[in-house]
Amino acid sequence: MKKKNLLQRIIIIAVVTLVGLYTVIGPRRRPTLKDFTWSGIKANLASNIRLGLDLKGGSHLVMRVKTDQFLKSLTEGNALAIANAAKDAGFAPKDVKTETAGNYKITLEVEDPSKLSEIDAAVKKKVDLSDWSSSPSGNTVTWTLNSTAQRTLAEQATEQAQRIIESRLNAVGVAEPLVQRHGAQSSHQILVQMPGIQDPERVKQLLSAESRLDLVHVVSPPSPAPVQTYNTEEEAKTSLGGTVPANRHVLPYSERNEPTTAGQKTPEDQKPKKWVVVEYPAVVGGNELRNASATQSRAGGNEYQITFSFKPTGAEKFGAWTGANINQYMGVVLNDEVKSIAYIKSQIFDQGEISGRFTKESAEDLALTLRSGALPAPIEYLEERTVGPSLGADSIRSGVRASVFGLLFVVAFMLFYYRGAGINAVVALLLNMILMLAALIIFEATLTLPGIAGIILTIGMAVDSNVLIFERIREELRTGKTIPSAIEQGFARAFVTIIDTHVTTIISSLFLFVFGTGPLRGFAVTLVLGLLINLFSAVYVSRTIFMWELSRKRRVESLSI
Amino acid sequence: MIQVFKQVNVDWLANRRLFIGVSILIMLAGLGSAVFRQWKHPNGTEAFNLGVDFKGGTVVTVKFKQRPSAEAIRDALISHGAKDVVIQPVTDKPDLALIKLPLEGAGEGESQAQLERGRARVKDGLNSFGPEGDAYEIVGTDAVGAVAGAQLRNKAIAVTMAALVGILVYIAFRFEWTYGAAAVIAVFHDLLVTLGMFSIFQWEVSLTVIAALLTLVGFSVNDTIVVFDRIRENRRLHRRESLYKITNDSINQTLSRTVITSGLVFLSVLAMVVFGGEVLRGFSLALTVGIVFGTYSSVAIASPIMVWWEQRLEAANRIGALGAARKGVPATGSPARRETVSAPVRKRSREAGQA
């Protein structure tokens, strides 16, 4: 009975050890002879363990989507649409006001208070205001954005931003990027991890580029008269009678320098800034784009431009407008700046270009961001951590060195102090290390630098279990018990304590894992795995070794402990 | 057989006033340092030397071909407009230096622009030593905005508190709530002492230090639990003995384990201080201090508080029982009997029932 029990234990331990060992150093394919050489083992180990960015190098970015900006522009867009709808229905509004701090409100002031409900109905027909509640009072109607809709819209904007960021990362060719939500849902944060990226500046700019593209009508006498520009913003405003109405925007315009000789001027070299008045809503917006690409401009040299084409719906709108406005001026607005102005020669349907004197790289980046769609709201970076591969390799070396020295100290002490029983502890410790790495691989967990610290602390905890058991066995021996019963009692009594100490440490590590971020998580993962495995290695395995020692002798007279 | 302690018979609890007094003194020193620094800002220090993780700012790790002196780097950066810059040469890597920049100015929305500005200044300043990629190379950057810093700080505090509550609940469930409270007070003491050391010596508090503090919570509670487990066991074996004597015996019986384990953990943490590199330095320092005080507190703080509390409860019970008897209400048992049915024993009988 006893013998059978022992055999069973040894088989379990052997199987677990072999499976663990193969998981750590075995290849994920049919093994060849090369896998048993030292270099083969090293290569397999490196490819099996998933290293964190702090060890293998890469860039870690946390960004926040400014959803308040999104709601603000939504409110302003709706205010414009409401004013236009009221005007089209024959009720010219006296004034439109928006409130965009915390609460989002649109207030429409009209001449005739008796027509309020008619205006409300007319607006409702044209503008989708299902998330807004209207309340007429006096000579005004106020639309307020519902608080639940506010949350849903902000959430949608964040999700959309996340999708756009993902597509931009893929387009620019970042290998294995990780994009996920970060922190509380209401914080609207996105985490991006890019292994291998050492200089994240270009990617950062690319990700945060807003790239809002609008094709607009420029308010100007038609061609052949030159386009109407103003030297200062004030001048432009004065032409509108001092105040800018809701359907007009005053935007900066950088006129192009026609290069006399190719390559003579750098693309950034521009004439002084001018201002133009443009009409909003835009003729076509960037969301109607089907494609955009960077092409070398006709002038040749190092100058690039962006050609774009519309989706069918956009092409239809664009064609209708250009057909009706021959000789009018039209502007390409990118991020609230007029990039180019041209007059309509003939009806155009689906093609256009932005010739803003770009370098090859900036044209490509811009085309890419235009293709991936505009971000619904600007993003800001909250956190950036970049580790170069050499620093990561240094960290691995220090971590491994610290673990090895820690392990050596412990092994030397246990063998010196507990003699024969020390071997049990050493076997248990080594097995713990192997199984912990195997568990990391099986759960596809990431090993970080704090994770290595977790491994070192696991060594401490693991050896504590052994010390507890051995000290207890010594005590039991001192009270005059026989060796088998002292071992039995020692394990039984120490086990209660071991469970209590492990559970408390696991509790505090779990809090770290659930609520902690990046580095804290990596630490919690290895510590929890190490502790769970320790229950197997320090108790079950060590016990089996004692059982095996006892079974070899008929009568046990001494125990090396 | 080699033994650290043969037969120990120390009356630990007799020195409880001394122990608690010493602890209070150390805690007061830490508190004094924190309050004084926060208030007076001697040499521009604050209560804690918070790292960029919690305060926001930028740390740039630069690898030089020929590392200039810290002063030379600082002067170069200051001449390019960087303020309050701290240069920290890496001790075990002769070509590496950490450049730490605080956030410039306040204002939450501006954090991104602040980070960009700081980095631009570092690059400008470093370029005076030669072009990038040739004379120097930026091998790592940590930039944390004010919002993210505050977020990490709040989270760290919340996680630590939640972990303490979790431990209190578990010990209360396994033992008695007096044991749990005593253990948590001892752990709290360890945290305060360690944080005090961080304030006194102005070691940098980074995110990994929080991980160290939580590990310390686990270790300190471990030590306490080992003693409490033994007390629970001894109370079952020697029902006639006083709690005072049982506690002393239990501490003495587990003393060799306590010393061996703490010593070994201390050694592996020391390996981390020596070989673990700059990134883990704060972590290992926190643990080195914490292990020492964690071990001390399980003997010197947790046990005396638990004994004092249990004795008070028993006294209150006895008075309650006497009062009930005087009023003519039949008491459930004599005072002496009640003592044996006091706190930890109740639990034991439940366990025995299950077995």
Q: What digits encode the pLDDT tens for the residues B192-248?
A: 999 999 999 988 888 778 878 877 887 888 889 899 999 999 999 998 889 999 999
Q: Rounded distance, CA A361 to CA B306, Å? A: 70
pLDDT of res. B158: 85
Q: Are A131 and A149 in contact (CB under 8 A)?
A: yes
Shortest Cα–Cα distance, A197 to chain B (Å)? 11
Distance linking the first and last C-alpha atoms of chain A: 27
Pairing mode, strands A178-182 and A213-218:
unpaired
> Which residue type does A356 have?
G
A to B CB pairs, distance under 8 Å: 217
Q: What digits encode the pLDDT tens for the residues B122-147?
A: 888 888 888 887 888 888 888 888 77
pLDDT of res. A260: 38
Contacts with A467 from chain B: Cβ below 8 Å: 257, 260-261, 264
Structure-token pair, residue A356: 């803003």
pLDDT of res. B108: 47
Q: A401 — contact with chain B (CB < 8 Å)?
A: yes
Residue A277 parent element (H or E)? strand A273-285
Tell if the CB–CB gap between A468 and B226 is shorter than 8 Å: yes
Tell if the CB–CB gap between B147 and A64 is shorter than 8 Å: yes
CA distances from B117 to A64, A505, B110, B121, B125 (A): 19, 43, 11, 6, 12
Report the residue from A395, A406, A503 with minimal CB separation from B170: A503
Q: Rounded distance, CA A374 to CA A210, Å? A: 6
When pLDDT is cut at 50, 70 and 90, the band that residue B336 belongs to is very low
Q: Which residue has the tokens 């049919």?
A: A30
Domains and their CATH numbers in chain A: 2-57+388-552 (1.20.1640.10), 67-150 (3.30.1360), 209-374 (3.30.1360.200)
pLDDT of res. A518: 66
Q: Which positions ≥6 away from B253 have C-beta within 8 Å?
A: A475, B230
pLDDT of res. B83: 75
Structure-token pair, residue A445: 């967990």
Indicate yes or no: pTM above 0.90. no
pLDDT of res. B30: 92
Coil vs helix vs strand at A337: strand
Tell if the CB–CB gap between B111 and A382 is shorter than 8 Å: yes
pLDDT at B347 over 50: no
pLDDT of res. B355: 34
Q: What digits encode the pLDDT tens for the residues A310-369?
A: 888 888 888 888 888 888 888 888 878 887 787 887 887 777 777 766 788 778 887 887
pLDDT of res. A271: 56
Q: What digits encode the pLDDT tens for the residues A486-496?
A: 999 999 999 98
Tell if the CB–CB gap between B140 and A183 is shorter than 8 Å: no
Shortest Cα–Cα distance, A21 to chain B (Å)? 25
Provide the chain A residues 418-457 that lie in CB contact (below 8 A) with chain B.
449-450, 453, 456-457
Tell if the CB–CB gap between A395 and B265 is shorter than 8 Å: no
pLDDT at A1 over 50: no
pLDDT of res. B333: 43
Contacts with A453 from chain B: Cβ below 8 Å: 208, 211, 272, 276, 280, 283-284
pLDDT at B1 over 80: no
Name the average pLDDT for chain A: 84
Q: A396 — contact with chain B (CB < 8 Å)?
A: no
CATH architecture of B12-38+149-314: Up-down Bundle (1.20)
Q: Rounded distance, CA B256 to CA B7, Å? A: 10
Q: A402 — contact with chain B (CB < 8 Å)?
A: yes
Number of other CB atoms surrounding residue A468 within 10 Å: 26
Q: What digits encode the pLDDT tens for the residues B29-80?
A: 999 999 998 888 877 778 888 888 888 888 888 888 888 888 888 888 888 8
ipTM associated with this complex: 0.79
Judged by average pLDDT, the poorest of A28-32, A354-358, B280-284 is: A354-358
